Structure 1
Amino acid sequence: MAVPIPFSEPPYLCGLPSPYYTPELRKWQKACKAFIGEHLTPFAMEWETEETVPEHLFEVFSKNHMLIPALPAPLPVKELKACGIHDILGAVKVEDFTYFHNLIYNDEMARSGLAGPGGSITTGMAFGVPCLLKFASKELKDKYLPDLFWGRTRTCIAITEPDAGSDVANIRTEAKKSSDGKKYIINGAKKWITNGIWSDYAPMAVRTGGPGGGGLSLLWVPLKNYPGVTMRRLKVSGQISAGTTYIELDDVEVPAENLIGQEGMGMRYIMTNFNHERLTIAASATRQARVALSAAFEYCLKREAFGKPLMEQPVVRHRLAKAGSILESHWAWVEQFVYQMTQLPKAVADVELGGLTAACKANAAHVFKECADTAALLFGGNGYTRTGQGAIAEKMWREVHGIRVPGGSEDVMLDLMVRQLVKNFQRKTKELEKEGAAKL
């Protein structure tokens, strides 16, 4: 077995001890790596260059239940078993799945360094299905979940609009009840919707009431070939194969029973999956940073300039060290978050970790940018060329902003962290004061 290039693997995969990774988790990592290494990783660069993935990829992952690990942990055991899904790859039972399994899965899905090919098949399961799972009526869940779990249908999450990105409360797409109350009629547009072009349905944020977050609801909306729905792919800088889509809705009629949960609760429903979405992005981006930095490290060992290998230049070593130190520090933070998610009840984690998870996602983008910049600079002209030995550095550099913006724009995430910390501090201070007063 080859010795890992420095920074190419998490410490636990380099033979270093870890308190987190049990033999069961290591078994899962090997199974994930083998499956993804057979069906995705070797072809990712080719598919990203072609700007799409073949249809069979989604089918292969679905058949082997390898979309299920994209869901938040713990998995919906009752619903999965009712559909005949009891384990994943024979390596983990659905009832034993934790956020560490999810972390390992996301790490392996990004092993190619490219987010597009993996995101092309997992985004709907990771970010679209949870809304249905948590808040939809039994009738809606019974009708749609089995086909989603088995990959017979596909979904995305349709929130962002041309004029409302991180400002979710400013969504304008409108859903009005018909006079007989039997359907909603939707008008508006959604933009930058990953996977939209391939999706049969989407949980969609719509305005059913007044301004602000309190006027938002979630509807389960048919997309592909549905009357009044027009979809077209958008040309984006990176993650091209993930199918970023513009969706227009012109008098789209949706049955009233497709309301997810209650009217006016859409903002709250959307927010409950933000921790999962941002932690998923943070884990994937950290692997992308690894791929970029380790590729640069390997290149510097063999590339000669001024009569000696680049690695013998102190300025080169300094640049690698600077990027590597923040990379490994960030990975330790991600692992810490995952551990906390496995220990805290969901409701507590949402409050205690919400702002910090937003910051972790933003920091992942900082780390990725530093590692991608380092790779592009150290590869020199090769890192500015779309083909050849520096192609991975060039492609990944163009993906950096696909981490900094989606899932909550970077500045919004950092501001959210501080506001959440202030809010929690003030709440806990008041609780402590009440407790002291009660004792007196």
Structure 2
Amino acid sequence: MTASPSTASKTREFTREEVAKHNKADDLWIIVDSKVYDVTRFKDLHPGGISVFLEDDIMGQDATEAFYGLHRHEVLLKPQYARLVIGTIAGEKSVVTATAPGALSQVPYAEPTWLTKGYFSPYYKESHREFQKAVRLFTDEVLYPDAQAREEDGKRPSQAVFDKCAELNIIAMRMGPGKHLKGRTLMNGLVKPEEFDYFHELVLHQEMCRINARGYQDGFGSGSVIGLPPILNFASPALRDKIVPEVLSGKKFIALAISEAFAGSDVQGLRTTAKKTEDGKHWIINGTKKWITNGTFSDYFTVGCRTDNGFTVILVERCEGVETKMIKTAYSSTAGTAYITFENVKVPVENTLGKEGQGVYVMLSNFNHERWVMCCAASRNQRVIVEECLKWSNQRKAFGKPLNSQAVIRAKIAEMIARAESCQAWLENITFQMCNMTYKDQANKLAGPIALLKMYCTRTAQDTARDAMQIFGGRGVTKTGMGRFIEHYHRTVPYDAILGGAEDVLGDLGVRQAIRQMPKNARL
């Protein structure tokens, strides 16, 4: 088969001496990672201006170091830049390659130790490893491109992504192990429903948060992760059989609507009311909710209300009297963060979740899982930043040397690594307890440890974000280019410290639980 002219030109080989002859503004070639680029015409279109190409050490020369000091490798993979390649340097091969979809990173500490060659773990079985491979490939090929596009345009995650997730029962698996998985084919049969445990779920959450898109991460399904469990566990069979299949199929969406302007972590301070009609058959709900993730596009709302008998949780379907407005946040509108008003919303009493006046138990039953999910993501997201900083400090030159030759930079990276490793180790220990405890024991014993872990994960994440900003400098505050993931992380990481319970509240919860368990005879 004869190669096309364009293909033939790109397989042509040059010597460095030949390339060096093309060193004029009207005949300009450069070398980047052993590939030869003809930038004669492109230089006038270069977003950074023409002057960068007209340096003596760039025209006709090897510009690899200069390029990687300014751009990410992904730039070279874009069609408009790939077309500039006219050949390669004879006898040389490219050193820098894009990581293949689904592949593990070879950068130290970029992966947890159980995925690092030569390391071992007592927690993960072969099914977890096979599951990880499949979820990573799905994340790289399906989630990542949609996440980056939606972060850019601010739209909700694409319906096509939800449909593909539903086909693999990913939405169902994000609810954790349980009866809701019975009879389902998980990840094309890779894991049997009865074998799916919290480590499989941990893998699922940690792999999918690698998309480097915090708003999308919430928009993709945080509403269902925290809004659907009360339906699974406390709804009447008829209500459960209607709502759960719709949500797990990705056709309908649900949000947890608890927080209010007057009551964030203080659930007892809620002002939204639910009053029964005279015939006792309906609730009439009035009030507002604020900072409700997925609220702008949800069909159902798991709503916390103040009733005559105390705090009650009620399922509300989007209907007349329900209005949602977008709240502009520092991350992105793809999360669907909403301000919701309920004005004389009429809801059947059958939509009550659990017993009237005992809504606190409905909410507490899922707090541990919700916070644990956040710990999964917060600990894994730190590794993304560790990898970015290790790569950048290795290729960036400052004062004539690589940035990582500076002791202060190495010290910052050391702290980052220590935080990421400690978060993962603590998380895996708690996950092991979850796998071996009854649900009742988890509620009794793990509420405090999980609260403390979330406080630790989100606090260390903010330390890592601050250090990464210092390492990247100006690039760390730029939404595009080399430091775009650092900028995004630094801007969005504070949300983790608030969602699911503020750091200070959770820390106090953990200590109060410990105090209650103090033996009466304990003395110094």
TM-score normalized with structure 1 length: 0.92
Equivalence for 1:264? 357
Q: Following the alignment from structure 1 to structure 2, what is the Cα–Cα distance between the partners of residues 38 and 29?
A: 14
The one of 58, 80, 100 equivalent to 2:162 is 58
Equivalence for 2:141? 38
Q: Following the alignment from structure 2 to structure 1, what is the Cα–Cα distance between the partners of residues 179 and 490?
A: 34
**Which one-letter code corresponds to 1:35 in the other structure?**
F
The one of 265, 283, 298 equivalent to 2:391 is 298
Consecutive unaligned residues in structure 2, runs of 5 or more: 1-102
Equivalence for 1:71? 175
Aligned counterparts, 1:302-341, within 5 A: 302-341=395-434
Spell out, residue by residue over 1:348-377, the C-alpha distance to the aligned partner (whole angstroms, 9 max, x if none): 111111011011111111121122112111
Q: Is the 8 A contact 1:193 1:245 kept in 2?
A: yes
**Which one-letter code corresponds to 1:344 in the other structure?**
M
Q: Is the 8 A contact 2:169 2:185 kept in 1?
A: no
**Worse overlay, 413-422 or 238-247:** 238-247
Q: Does 1:10 align with 2:112?
A: yes
**Worse overlay, 1-10 or 366-375:** 1-10
Consecutive unaligned residues in structure 1, runs of 5 or more: 433-440
Q: Does 1:102 align with 2:201?
A: yes
Q: Is the 8 A contact 2:380 2:420 kept in 1?
A: no
* Root-mean-square deviation (Å): 1.7
TM-score normalized with structure 2 length: 0.77
Give the superposition deviation at 1:256: 1.1
Task: Answer 1 or 2: higher relative contact order, Cα 8 Å, separation at least 6.
Answer: 1
SS in 1 for 2:256: coil
Q: Following the alignment from structure 2 to structure 1, what is the Cα–Cα distance between the partners of residues 315 and 393?
A: 51
**Which one-letter code corresponds to 1:7 in the other structure?**
Y
Aligned counterparts, 1:159-238, within 5 A: 159-209=258-308, 215-223=310-318, 226-238=319-331
Q: Following the alignment from structure 2 to structure 1, what is the Cα–Cα distance between the partners of residues 418 and 480?
A: 29
**Which one-letter code corresponds to 2:304 in the other structure?**
A
Give the superposition deviation at 1:107: 0.2
Identity %: 36
Q: Does 1:397 align with 2:490?
A: yes
Equivalence for 1:154? 253
- How many aligned residue pairs are there? 418
SS in 2 for 1:388: coil
Spell out, residue by residue over 1:191-234, the C-alpha distance to the aligned partner (whole angstroms, 9 max, x if none): 11111111111111111126xxxx111111012xx100110111
Aligned counterparts, 1:354-393, within 5 A: 354-393=447-486
Q: Does 1:24 align with 2:127?
A: yes
Q: Does 1:345 align with 2:438?
A: yes
Q: Following the alignment from structure 1 to structure 2, what is the Cα–Cα distance between the partners of residues 361 and 375?
A: 21
Q: Following the alignment from structure 1 to structure 2, what is the Cα–Cα distance between the partners of residues 349 and 3?
A: 34
Spell out, residue by residue over 1:95-125, the C-alpha distance to the aligned partner (whole angstroms, 9 max, x if none): 2110001100010110123232232122233
**Which one-letter code corresponds to 2:480 in the other structure?**
T
Give the superposition deviation at 1:279: 0.6
Richer in helix (by share): 1
Give the superposition deviation at 1:24: 0.8
Structure 1 pair 25–35 and aligned structure 2 pair: CA distance change class (3 A) = same
Give the superposition deviation at 1:3: 5.5
Q: Does 1:138 align with 2:242?
A: no
**Which one-letter code corresponds to 1:346 in the other structure?**
Y
Q: Following the alignment from structure 1 to structure 2, what is the Cα–Cα distance between the partners of residues 271 and 4?
A: 41
**Which one-letter code corresponds to 1:56 in the other structure?**
A
SS in 2 for 1:189: strand
Structure 1 pair 260–88 and aligned structure 2 pair: CA distance change class (3 A) = same
Structure 1 pair 46–376 and aligned structure 2 pair: CA distance change class (3 A) = farther
**Worse overlay, 294-303 or 32-41:** 32-41
Equivalence for 1:123? 222
SS in 2 for 1:110: helix
Structure 1 pair 323–2 and aligned structure 2 pair: CA distance change class (3 A) = closer
Q: Is the 8 A contact 2:253 2:300 kept in 1?
A: yes
Q: Is the 8 A contact 1:201 1:220 kept in 2?
A: yes
Q: Following the alignment from structure 1 to structure 2, what is the Cα–Cα distance between the partners of residues 387 and 113?
A: 13
Give the superposition deviation at 1:87: 2.6
SS in 2 for 1:102: helix
SS in 1 for 2:508: helix
Q: Is the 8 A contact 2:168 2:185 kept in 1?
A: no
Q: Following the alignment from structure 2 to structure 1, what is the Cα–Cα distance between the partners of residues 245 and 263?
A: 32
Give the superposition deviation at 1:63: 2.7
Q: Is the 8 A contact 2:316 2:347 kept in 1?
A: yes
Q: Is the 8 A contact 1:99 1:338 kept in 2?
A: yes
Q: Is the 8 A contact 1:238 1:398 kept in 2?
A: yes
**Which one-letter code corresponds to 2:305 in the other structure?**
V
SS in 2 for 1:250: strand
Q: Following the alignment from structure 2 to structure 1, what is the Cα–Cα distance between the partners of residues 161 and 170?
A: 11
Higher radius of gyration, 1 or 2: 2
SS in 2 for 1:93: coil
**Which one-letter code corresponds to 1:33 in the other structure?**
R
Give the superposition deviation at 1:239: 5.1
Q: Following the alignment from structure 2 to structure 1, what is the Cα–Cα distance between the partners of residues 141 and 287?
A: 41
**Which one-letter code corresponds to 2:160 in the other structure?**
H
Spell out, residue by residue over 1:280-329, the C-alpha distance to the aligned partner (whole angstroms, 9 max, x if none): 00110111111112101100000000010001111110110012112111
Q: Is the 8 A contact 1:300 1:309 kept in 2?
A: yes
